[in-house]
Amino acid sequence: MKKVKYLILSLGMVFGLCLTVLPATVGAAIDPLGTVCSGDAAQTALCKNKDSKKNSFSYIVGVIVNTLLFLVAAVSVVMIIIGGIYYTTSNGDASLVKKAKDTIMYSVIGLIVAIMAYAIVNFVITAFK
Protein backbone atom coordinates (compact mmCIF):
# COMPACT_ATOMS: atom_id res chain seq x y z
CA MET A 1 0.00 0.00 0.00
CA LYS A 2 2.86 2.38 0.76
CA LYS A 3 4.35 1.81 -2.69
CA VAL A 4 1.05 2.77 -4.31
CA LYS A 5 0.83 5.89 -2.14
CA TYR A 6 4.33 7.01 -3.08
CA LEU A 7 3.71 6.23 -6.75
CA ILE A 8 0.55 8.35 -6.80
CA LEU A 9 2.25 11.16 -4.90
CA SER A 10 5.26 11.08 -7.23
CA LEU A 11 3.12 11.11 -10.35
CA GLY A 12 1.08 13.99 -8.96
CA MET A 13 4.19 16.01 -8.23
CA VAL A 14 5.64 15.37 -11.71
CA PHE A 15 2.32 16.24 -13.32
CA GLY A 16 2.06 19.42 -11.23
CA LEU A 17 5.59 20.50 -12.12
CA CYS A 18 4.93 19.88 -15.81
CA LEU A 19 1.82 22.03 -15.67
CA THR A 20 3.78 24.77 -13.95
CA VAL A 21 6.72 24.81 -16.37
CA LEU A 22 4.98 24.23 -19.70
CA PRO A 23 2.73 27.32 -19.77
CA ALA A 24 5.70 29.55 -18.97
CA THR A 25 7.77 28.20 -21.85
CA VAL A 26 4.89 28.19 -24.32
CA GLY A 27 3.73 31.67 -23.36
CA ALA A 28 7.24 33.12 -23.50
CA ALA A 29 7.33 32.89 -27.30
CA ILE A 30 4.03 34.75 -27.78
CA ASP A 31 4.35 38.53 -28.16
CA PRO A 32 1.02 39.96 -29.32
CA LEU A 33 2.44 43.49 -29.62
CA GLY A 34 5.59 42.36 -31.46
CA THR A 35 4.18 42.91 -34.93
CA VAL A 36 2.22 46.01 -33.97
CA CYS A 37 5.16 47.79 -32.34
CA SER A 38 7.36 48.24 -35.39
CA GLY A 39 8.20 51.25 -37.50
CA ASP A 40 6.36 54.46 -36.65
CA ALA A 41 4.02 52.68 -34.20
CA ALA A 42 6.95 51.91 -31.88
CA GLN A 43 6.78 55.46 -30.51
CA THR A 44 3.24 55.14 -29.19
CA ALA A 45 2.56 55.00 -25.44
CA LEU A 46 1.36 51.40 -25.63
CA CYS A 47 4.55 50.19 -27.30
CA LYS A 48 6.88 52.18 -25.05
CA ASN A 49 5.40 50.72 -21.86
CA LYS A 50 4.74 47.15 -23.01
CA ASP A 51 7.62 45.63 -20.99
CA SER A 52 7.54 47.93 -17.94
CA LYS A 53 4.74 45.92 -16.33
CA LYS A 54 6.77 42.69 -16.39
CA ASN A 55 9.58 44.25 -14.35
CA SER A 56 7.40 45.68 -11.60
CA PHE A 57 7.45 44.28 -8.06
CA SER A 58 3.70 43.60 -8.01
CA TYR A 59 3.90 41.58 -11.22
CA ILE A 60 6.75 39.43 -9.91
CA VAL A 61 4.99 38.84 -6.57
CA GLY A 62 1.78 38.00 -8.43
CA VAL A 63 3.54 35.41 -10.58
CA ILE A 64 5.19 33.82 -7.53
CA VAL A 65 1.91 33.73 -5.58
CA ASN A 66 0.00 32.27 -8.54
CA THR A 67 2.63 29.55 -9.00
CA LEU A 68 2.63 28.65 -5.31
CA LEU A 69 -1.17 28.61 -5.22
CA PHE A 70 -1.20 26.24 -8.18
CA LEU A 71 1.30 23.93 -6.48
CA VAL A 72 -0.64 23.97 -3.20
CA ALA A 73 -3.89 23.27 -5.04
CA ALA A 74 -2.31 20.37 -6.96
CA VAL A 75 -0.88 18.84 -3.78
CA SER A 76 -4.21 19.35 -2.01
CA VAL A 77 -6.13 17.56 -4.76
CA VAL A 78 -3.64 14.68 -4.69
CA MET A 79 -3.98 14.43 -0.91
CA ILE A 80 -7.79 14.44 -1.17
CA ILE A 81 -7.53 11.56 -3.64
CA ILE A 82 -5.14 9.70 -1.32
CA GLY A 83 -7.53 10.30 1.58
CA GLY A 84 -10.36 8.90 -0.52
CA ILE A 85 -8.28 5.82 -1.32
CA TYR A 86 -7.54 5.39 2.38
CA TYR A 87 -11.24 5.73 3.17
CA THR A 88 -12.36 3.17 0.61
CA THR A 89 -9.68 0.66 1.56
CA SER A 90 -10.12 0.99 5.33
CA ASN A 91 -12.63 -1.90 5.50
CA GLY A 92 -14.32 -0.34 8.51
CA ASP A 93 -11.16 -0.12 10.64
CA ALA A 94 -11.75 2.89 12.92
CA SER A 95 -8.12 4.05 12.99
CA LEU A 96 -7.81 3.95 9.18
CA VAL A 97 -11.13 5.76 8.75
CA LYS A 98 -9.96 8.48 11.15
CA LYS A 99 -6.65 8.75 9.27
CA ALA A 100 -8.53 9.11 5.96
CA LYS A 101 -10.92 11.73 7.32
CA ASP A 102 -8.02 13.70 8.84
CA THR A 103 -6.12 13.60 5.55
CA ILE A 104 -9.11 14.94 3.63
CA MET A 105 -9.93 17.56 6.28
CA TYR A 106 -6.37 18.90 6.51
CA SER A 107 -5.97 19.07 2.74
CA VAL A 108 -9.23 21.03 2.41
CA ILE A 109 -8.13 23.37 5.23
CA GLY A 110 -4.79 23.86 3.48
CA LEU A 111 -6.57 24.69 0.25
CA ILE A 112 -8.80 27.24 2.00
CA VAL A 113 -5.79 28.87 3.67
CA ALA A 114 -3.99 29.07 0.32
CA ILE A 115 -7.00 30.70 -1.35
CA MET A 116 -7.28 33.21 1.51
CA ALA A 117 -3.57 34.00 1.23
CA TYR A 118 -3.99 34.53 -2.50
CA ALA A 119 -6.89 36.93 -1.89
CA ILE A 120 -4.95 38.87 0.75
CA VAL A 121 -1.85 39.21 -1.43
CA ASN A 122 -3.91 40.36 -4.42
CA PHE A 123 -5.76 42.88 -2.24
CA VAL A 124 -2.48 44.29 -0.92
CA ILE A 125 -0.90 44.45 -4.39
CA THR A 126 -3.87 46.26 -5.90
CA ALA A 127 -4.11 48.63 -2.91
CA PHE A 128 -0.51 49.80 -3.31
CA LYS A 129 -0.47 50.23 -7.12
Amino acid at 107: S
Residue 71 has pLDDT above 70, yes or no: yes
Q: How far is CA 47 from CA 39, 42, 43, 63, in A?
A: 11, 5, 7, 22
* pTM, entire model: 0.55
| C-beta neighbour count of 76 within 10 angstroms | 20
Lowest-confidence region among 6-10, 81-85, 87-91: 6-10
CA 68 to chain CA mean position, Å: 5
pLDDT tens figures, 8-33: 666 666 666 555 554 444 444 445 55
Determine the Cα–Cα distance for residues 113 and 96; give it in Å rounded to an integer: 26
Q: What is the pLDDT of residue 50?
A: 58
